[in-house]
A and B are shown apart, each in its own frame.
Chain A
Amino acid sequence: MFDNLSDRLGGVFDKLKGRGALKEQDVRDAMREVRVAMLEADVALPVARRFIDAVTEKAVGQDVLRSVTPGQQVVKIVHDELVEMLGGEETPGLNLDAKPPVVIIMVGLQGSGKTTTTAKLAKLIREKHGKKALMASLDVNRPAAQEQLAVLGEQTDIATLPIVAGQQPVDIARRAMESARLQNVDVLLLDTAGRLHVDEALMAEMKAISAVSAPTEVLLVVDSLTGQDAVNVAQSFTGEVPLTGVVLTRMDGDARGGAALSMRHVTGQPIKFAGTGEKLDAIEAFHPSRVADRILGM
């Protein structure tokens, strides 16, 4: 059942490729199939619509339709445009270029993978960048959230800020800054509680955390299984804090990952990393071209 779609889309593309002269209507028909494919892949509807409009306009251009292999050109335009919208060929890494301690804040909905990703990034910062990291959990909501980060710290051998029972998030952030300075830490990673974008109190708290810690990176951690809600999430978080990038988790799943496109498009920020497992080395640079294929089911 889940393969039918890529078969169908593959069929549409094959049909286009195999043809000589194309009429504008042929292109429009094919684009309707591409639209369905994108919706099945959970690309948010407004984003899919914009994409299809942009691509259709390019593809019905006279030099495409009159070229020797119009079908192949249309397919190429769809793919290239998608790669471009996902960030092009270059994936920017972490920006650690600031006066230490460089602060990275992780934000996102409940259960998206923030705490796990915090530990993965800290490990990467030590191993790839050769820098000293400190992690602090500002999550006073979820039971055992701070213990979870402490355990991950032990597993990765990365220091975590000692837990002080009852201390509130903004105060923990201040203490973490202080501690990072005293210990000559290069990079301080602040893990925050999961929050819904409609939760005004928690969104205000996130802003306050950002205000006291002057972050260089604010990373929105998003589940690649996310559906149409991606647009709401991206809009609300972007409106509250200066996001600098997105991390897409659970890319080891079999979701087609259309949320990537929605996120990139709505936040205007690059998708910097893909989480590819529960283990703490399961993180990689985001690959727009691979994800484009995946969204199109190719």
Chain B
Amino acid sequence: VSTAKLDDATLDDVEDALIMSDLGPSAAARIRERLREKRFGLEISERELKEAVAEEIAEILRPVAKPLEITAFPRPQVLLVIGVNGSGKTTTIAKLAHLLQEDDYGVMLAAGDTFRAAAIGQLATWAERVGVPIIRGPEGGDPASIVFDAVKAATDTGIDALIVDTAGRLQNKRELMDELAKIRKVLGRLNPEAPHDVILVLDATNGQNALAQIDVFKEVAGVTGLIMTKLDGTARGGVLVAAAEQYGLPIHAIGVGEKIDDLRPFDPDLVAKVIAGVA
């Protein structure tokens, strides 16, 4: 195995590779700096270098890796799923429902997206496939009233986990963000603890705007955790590194496909290796 001195040119290459994984220029520069401090001028093989990069990233990601747990008492635990348009909310809800059901939890879905064409039909198809009940209202109806009905139904029937779908919304849309704040408030009417989880679904193919998404959704809707979808493509999701540094929000899981069992626990070491190009 050939080795070389870790010099500025090599560090430049590392920084470029990190940028191409969507870490963004500042997070990439910080990791470069840390590598420089620790190892500048040392003989290092390419493999060792990548592993060192992966270790730097893993150190940032490990503290935020936290699986979702159903612990709410009294039941149900209410999970509100939010995010920008097309990020993968509805599909992720189906995957979560499936996962929880496999663990013997009673699950119910709420069709809180009454706006997008056939969004209710999409969730209803998933509910049927997974075999869980769904609370739905008319197309174009008031999402707040549907989620209210859903909390009531879930409470009355002793459901463990109620997962609430919402319409996609860009975080700079004031009116839509206000609507989200309202949905959140209504969820708490029957049970002050609800929503117990507010999950922001991020699309791995998105770049630096994901940070703005976290920033605003956190402010408006009190995000408690993240799920990143579409990591089965070539996007590496490096924005999670910057997000972990800046916000420290738990990362629960990742989506790696369109099928019902394509949800994986968030493994910080694996994701770090993928970003560093070792895996």
A residues at B contact (CB < 8 Å): 1-2, 36, 39-42, 44-45, 109-113, 115, 141-145, 147-152, 155, 196-198, 223, 225-229, 232-233, 250, 252-256, 258-259, 278
Contacts and interface: CB of A to CB of B under 8 A. Distances in A.
Nearest to A36: B25
Contacts of A255: 206-209, 212
Given A223-B206, A226-B207, A143 B125 contact: yes
A111 B203 contact: yes
A156 to B, nearest CB: 10
Contacts of B258: 110, 141-142
B232 A196 contact: yes
B25 A232 contact: no
A253 B19 CA distance: 22
Contacts of A256: 208-209
B32 to A, nearest CB: 14
Contacts of A258: 207
B122 A229 contact: no
Given A148-B118, A196-B232, A227 B205 contact: yes
Given A40-B24, A196-B233, A254-B170, A147 B118 contact: yes
Contacts of B16: 45
The 8 tightest CB contacts between A and B, nearest first, are A227-B207, A111-B86, A42-B207, A143-B125, A151-B117, A144-B121, A148-B118, A255-B209
Contacts of A198: 232-234
A152 B24 contact: no
B77 interface: no
Interface string B84-107: 111110000000000000000000
B20 A228 contact: yes
A226 B205 contact: yes
A112 to B, nearest CB: 7
Contacts of A259: 207
Contacts of B88: 110-111
Interface residues of B, number: 45
B121 A253 contact: no
10 contacts: A1-B215, A2-B215, A109-B230, A141-B258, A151-B139, A223-B205, A225-B84, A250-B84, A255-B208, A278-B115
Contacts of A229: 22, 204-205, 233-235
A228 B21 contact: yes
| Candidate in B22, B124, B203 with the most chain A CB atoms within 10 angstroms | B203
B79 interface: no
B122 A144 contact: yes
Given A111-B88, A143-B121, A45 B20 contact: yes
A225 B209 contact: yes
B121 A112 contact: no
Contacts of B34: none
A40 B122 contact: no
Contact of A253 (B124, B204, B209, B215): B209
Contacts of B115: 278
A197 B233 contact: yes
A226 B210 CA distance: 10
B74 to A, nearest CB: 32
B116 interface: yes
A256 B206 CA distance: 12
A278 B168 CA distance: 10
B172 interface: yes
A227 to B, nearest CB: 2
Contacts of A36: 25
Contacts of B170: 250, 252-254
B165 to A, nearest CB: 13
A202 to B, nearest CB: 10
Contacts of A196: 230, 232-233
A41 B208 CA distance: 7
B87 A111 contact: yes
B166 interface: no
Given A111-B88, A227-B207, A227-B235, 16 more contacts: A45-B19, A45-B20, A111-B203, A148-B119, A198-B232, A225-B203, A225-B210, A227-B205, A227-B239, A228-B19, A229-B233, A229-B234, A232-B235, A254-B172, A256-B208, A278-B85
Nearest to B16: A45
A153 B118 CA distance: 12
B206 A227 contact: yes
Nearest to B206: A225
B114 interface: no
Given A42-B209, A148-B117, A196-B232, A228 B22 contact: yes
Given A197-B234, A228-B20, A143 B207 contact: no
Contact of B122 (A143, A152, A223): A143
Given A111-B88, A258-B207, A278 B116 contact: yes
Given A228-B19, A229-B234, A2 B24 contact: no
Contact of A228 (B84, B118, B207): B207
Given A40-B24, A229-B205, A155 B126 contact: no
A112 B86 contact: yes
Nearest to B176: A278
